[in-house]
Structures are given as structure tokens and as C-alpha cells.
Amino acid sequence: MIPVRGLEGRDVAVLGLGRSGLSAARALLAGGAAPLCWDESAEGRERAAAEGFPLHDLTRDDAFRGVAALIVSPGIPHLYPAPHPVIDAALRAGVPVDNDIGLFFRSLATPGWHGFDTAPRVVAITGSNGKSTTSALLHHILTDAGYRAQLAGNIGRGVLDIDPPGDAGIVVLELSSYQTDLARALTPDIAVFTNLSPDHLDRHGGMGGYFAAKRRLFAEGGPDRAVIGVDEVEGRFLANQLSEAAGDDRVIGVSVARKLTGPGWSVTARRGHLSESRKGRQVAAIDLRDIAGLPGRHNHQNACCAYAAARALGLAPRVIEAGLRSYPGLPHRSQVIAERGGVRFVNDSKATNADAAAQALQAFSRIRWIAGGLGKEGGIAALTPYLGSVAKAYLIGHSARDFALQLGGTPVEICETMERAVASAAAEARPGDTVLLAPAAASFDQYRDFEARGDDFARQVNALP
């Protein structure tokens, strides 16, 4: 646990008692603060009471009298589309609003660090797509190389639940826009921006607000090094703002769309080959094409980002390559479930929007595509350029019929359920085909989350005769 520093002896309100909220309450208590807990749900309040935390109704008119700060869980809106009433009351009362990420960065460094030979370092990774894989991949590379590394944030453990890092310890954080938008302290040693595509726009008041939330990771604390995906204009703008000159090697540019030239530091992947260049010269290269855990262009971008961050931490290219090759992949992200009769079954349930599904459709050929669920704004019309590899679509969930109307001449079967979709796709697949779950939709019409949807796909595949 990371005890919270700087709030000793103060009353601190905690709103939202899920994983991050309860973790924050424990860390506040460990640091000498007095957490006052509240959740709109009786279940959340019961969890806090079971751990002995005092409940404090934050909806009362005088709820913030004597309160030093309000700590908010990431799912609770603080600005757009409208502030939660409790947060609005805190803003009106002048009570600072923060989250567990802000508490983590203000509390991580301790006087004991002066006795370390090498101070601990934090790598924070954000972006629209690929940040989970990039984070897990970097953590794997580090641990495979013998480093003491911990994985936390939006993946793995809550940030305040990790062990205090020791001498030369490394913390790898995956951070969503919900987390970076509100944190009052953001001071990673290395910050990574994978890419940007429209997502969570209602929560951030549009694309500009969404990018601004991501940008805070780089602007608030000023990382020593920044790894920036520059295939979108926002990434190019961010890299430009952080660089003092074209050869400024504090910024490492990443691209899978073009070969980056010039005197700076870059990592690119073209046609499955990763290339690192510095001062206009290639210094290392890795063939990614036969790495089973990283199929497709989108995973090659993840590999480039993880490689660049590992290089910034001082790892040698061949050490990083060994970690790339032994990476097993993340559940629900291009995860190979089985191979039967020459047919591969791949679970990419995390592809919850059209952009993520487009990446999956480009990673394989001869696809039997299982898609559908609770469709998002725009549906799947943007996927038209990527349907050439789709032999047939098997559509499930609430948006199945809407999706069918957007698929043009692609053969379609309305299956509605995962069981029917897997059975039909498996029966029609031929050797060399890939049965791919890449829903391009949210899961909440049939499942509690994308993990449950992916687990159901795996169950149906494993139950095939």
C-alpha cells in the first residue's frame, strides 16, 4: 500500500466505493487522514462499513464543513456532461477535488528514497487504443529482464494498493482519460501516448476536451521523456509542443503509418518490421511478424510504444526483443483461444468501438467475424474499407440488425446469441480461416462487461464438438 501523504489529521471525503474508492480510503487511513466515505448505492456503503469506515452523507447541505478534500472515483463525472451534484457542492464550497491517481503521485516519493542507489521510476501510458496491451507488454519486458516492476492503474492493481517501490523499482501505470482529467498531480518519469480516436466524447465535452484530458499527463508534470504516437494530428501537435528542436531526444516519435526521418529519436513499424532510429541512423531492428502474442498493425504499434519506453529506461534492444517474443498476450485482446482443424479462434472482445475493430480486421485474413452488442454512435459504417478480408459476419446483440444494414455486400447472418454465432461460424469455417470476435460495440445489452462477453466466447469455442 502507498500511504497518502500531506493530509495527516484531516477529514477527507471519498465519493464512490468501488475498487479505487476503497483503495483510496485505506491509503488515506494508513497515512493518518480520516476518510469519510459515501456511495449512492447501499451495496457500496455496506462494503465500506464492513471495513469499519465511517459513512458520511455527502448529499447533506453541510456535508463539506471541515472537509479538506474530496476524492472521486473515475466513473463519476466532474465537469461534462454535468458535474455530479456532490462534486458540484464541493466546487461551490471550495473543497479541492482529486482522485486516487493524484494521491498516488503526491505520495509515492518518500525521504527513504535518498538511501537508494537508483530512485524508483514511473512510466504512465495513455491513449485511446492499445494502452492496456502496451502497459502489460512493457511490464512483461521489464520482469522478463529481471527488473522489479509493478503494473497498476486502469489495469492490474489499484495505484494505491501496490507495494512501495524499492531501490530501482519501476511502476507501470495505465491511465484512462477519466483518471488523467482530474488528478491534481501527474509527474511520471516517462509518459506514453499511443494514439487518439473519438471516445468518451460526452464525458469530455467533445474531441478537444478528450485530447486535453490526455495531454495533461504530459503538461502537468513534464516527464523526463515522452513516447508519442504521431500517426494522428493530435500526437504530432503534442510531440511538437514537447520538443525544443527537431533533434530533441526527450521525445521519441512512434509511427506505424510512415517511416520517420530527421535527427530525432524514433521507433517505427512497417510491414511487420520494427526499426529504431537516432540522429538519422537506424540503430536496431526486430522482425515482429512471427510473434504470436502481437498480431497485426495495431499490436505492432503497441510493440513500438513498449519498446521505446523500455529503451528510455535503459534496456538493450535484444533484451527487449526477448520480452516481446515471450509475451503471452492479454485476455480479450487478440487472444488466441484455440485452433481446431486449421481454424483459429481469436477473442478480441475489448474491441468495443469501430476503430478498435478496424485494427482487428486488418490483423487477419479470411475472417469469420462475430460482431454486435450495444452499438455506439456512428455504428460500423467506418469499417467498410476493412471488410475485404471478411468472409461472413455473424451478428449478435441489440444492434445486430442495424449492423447488418451497414455491411453492404458482405454475407451476414443474424445470430443474436454468442452460442449461435460461434456454432455457425465454426461449422462454416475452412482451414486457414479465423473466427474473430471483434464486436465494435459495448457489451451491456447481454453482458456485465467486455470480459464476460469474451469469456462466453471462449466457453462456446471450448464446448464445440
**Which tens digit of pLDDT belongs to each residue from 113-143?**
999 999 999 999 999 988 999 999 999 999 9
- Residues spanned by the domain of 55: 11-98
* Arithmetic mean of pLDDT, 90-107: 98
pTM: 0.86
* Arithmetic mean of pLDDT, 316-334: 94
Q: Are residues 310 and 258 in the same domain?
A: yes
Q: Is 128 annotated as a binding residue?
A: yes
* pLDDT given at position 435: 98
At 295-315, the pLDDT tens digits run: 889 899 999 999 999 999 999
Q: Is 154 annotated as a binding residue?
A: no
* Arithmetic mean of pLDDT, 449-461: 97
Q: Are residues 152 and 90 in the same domain?
A: no
Alpha carbon distances (Å) from 137 to 306, 309, 322, 439: 6, 11, 12, 23
Q: 355 falls in which pLDDT band (50, 70, 90)?
A: confident
Q: 442 falls in which pLDDT band (50, 70, 90)?
A: very high
User: Is residue 1 in some structural domain?
Assistant: no
Nearest to residue 186, comparing CAs of 169, 201, 173? Answer: 173
Number of domains, the chain? 3
pLDDT at 330 over 90: no
Q: Are residues 82 and 206 in the same domain?
A: no
pLDDT at 433 over 90: yes
Q: Is 131 annotated as a binding residue?
A: yes
Q: Are residues 172 and 317 in the same domain?
A: yes
CATH number at residue 436: 3.90.190.20
Q: Are residues 301 and 349 in the same domain?
A: no
Q: Which of 276, 304, 326 is the last residue of a domain?
A: 326
Q: Is there a contact between 92 and 58 (Cβ–Cβ < 8 Å)?
A: no
Output helix, strand, coil percentages for the chain, rounded to the nearest 5.
35, 20, 40
User: Is residue 5 in some structural domain?
Assistant: no
* pLDDT given at position 401: 96
User: Is residue 3 in some structural domain?
Assistant: no
Q: Which of 48, 69, 98 is the last residue of a domain?
A: 98
pLDDT at 292 over 90: no
* Arithmetic mean of pLDDT, 417-427: 98
| Bridge partners, 1 (sequence order) | none
User: Is residue 443 in some structural domain?
Assistant: yes
CATH number at residue 73: 3.40.50.720
Q: Is there a contact between 306 and 342 (Cβ–Cβ < 8 Å)?
A: no
Q: Are residues 171 and 298 in the same domain?
A: yes
* pLDDT given at position 275: 97
At 147-206, the pLDDT tens digits run: 999 999 988 789 999 999 999 999 999 999 999 999 999 999 999 999 998 878 889 999
At 6-64, the pLDDT tens digits run: 999 999 999 999 989 999 999 999 999 999 999 999 999 999 999 999 999 999 999 99
At 389-419, the pLDDT tens digits run: 999 999 999 999 999 999 999 999 999 999 9
User: Is residue 182 in some structural domain?
Assistant: yes
Q: What kind and span of H or E run contains 47?
A: helix 42-50
Q: Is there a contact between 85 and 59 (Cβ–Cβ < 8 Å)?
A: yes
Q: Are residues 344 and 288 in the same domain?
A: no
* pLDDT given at position 429: 98
Spatial distance between the Cα atoms of 114 and 426, rounded to a whole number of angstroms: 60
Alpha carbon distances (Å) from 124 to 138, 173, 217, 306: 11, 5, 8, 11
Spatial distance between the Cα atoms of 399 and 419, rounded to a whole number of angstroms: 17
Q: Are residues 27 and 129 in the same domain?
A: no
CATH number at residue 206: 3.40.1190.10
Q: Is there a contact between 210 and 199 (Cβ–Cβ < 8 Å)?
A: yes
At 228-286, the pLDDT tens digits run: 999 999 999 999 999 999 889 999 999 999 999 889 999 999 999 999 999 999 999 99
Q: Which of 326, 357, 375 is the last residue of a domain?
A: 326
* Arithmetic mean of pLDDT, 350-358: 91
Q: Are residues 94 and 128 in the same domain?
A: no
Q: Is 384 annotated as a binding residue?
A: no
Q: Are residues 207 and 271 in the same domain?
A: yes
* pLDDT given at position 378: 85
Amino acid letter for position 160: L
* pLDDT given at position 296: 87
Q: Are residues 56 and 132 in the same domain?
A: no
Q: Is 130 annotated as a binding residue?
A: yes
pLDDT at 293 over 90: no
Q: Are residues 301 and 347 in the same domain?
A: no
User: Is residue 4 in some structural domain?
Assistant: no
